[in-house]
Amino acid sequence: MSTSIPEELRYNKSHEWVRDDGDGLFTVGITDHAQKALGDLVYVEAAEVGNVVSADDACCVVESVKAASDVYSPLDGEIVEANEALEDSPELVNNDPYGDGWLFRIKPTTPADFDALLDADAYAGLLSEEE
């Protein structure tokens, strides 16, 4: 199954993507690979705005018909926004994982940590190892 891995994003081993929004904030979602593996999403328990999290903390939950999965923060920081559209339309994560299906925005304690995350090539390598 082909999977999309945009070049401009960074990735976490647990299949989150991160985008540098250029305003000191970063947007996080789950990858195309992750949404395909989960199947049809039916519920998203949103990240709590104002929560201060460490990298690899579980900070929201996505549930498909099959199962519930934690989503981990890729960075240390404060959750500043959650995607409210997912409350009524969790399927956006399946339909547009890198766009309308974003999960939350985070204000990182150390923005430079972004550079230490996996780039698209490294993430593609991780996926081929998992197969």
In whole angstroms, the minimum distance from the beta carbon of 86 to other proteins comes to 11
Region binding other proteins by CB under 8 A among candidate stretches 7-15, 40-48, 111-119, 121-129:
40-48
Nearer to other proteins, 51 or 109 (CB): 51
Those residues with Cβ within 8 angstroms of residue 46's Cβ, 6 or more apart along the chain or in another chain: 60, 82, 83, 84, 86, 87, 103, 104
C-alpha to C-alpha distance for 37 and 45, rounded to whole angstroms: 18
Residue 64-103 contact track with other proteins, rule CB under 8 A, x = bound: xxxxx------------------x----------------
The correct pick among 24, 39, 54, 121 for binding other proteins (CB under 8 A) is 39
Nearer to other proteins, 18 or 41 (CB): 41
| 65 φ/ψ sector (left φ>0, alpha ψ -120 to 50, else beta) | alpha
Those residues with Cβ within 8 angstroms of residue 67's Cβ, 6 or more apart along the chain or in another chain: 38
Which strand (E) or helix (H) includes residue 37? helix 32-38
For residues 108 and 20, the answer to whether their CB atoms sit within 8 Å is no
Tell me the site size for other proteins, rule CB under 8 A: 13
C-alpha to C-alpha distance for 83 and 100, rounded to whole angstroms: 9
Q: For residue 40, state whether it binds other proteins (rule: CB under 8 A).
A: yes
Residues numbered 41-70 forming contacts with other proteins, rule: CB under 8 A: 42-43, 45, 61, 63-68
Interface with other proteins by CB under 8 A: which residues?
39-40, 42-43, 45, 61, 63-68, 87
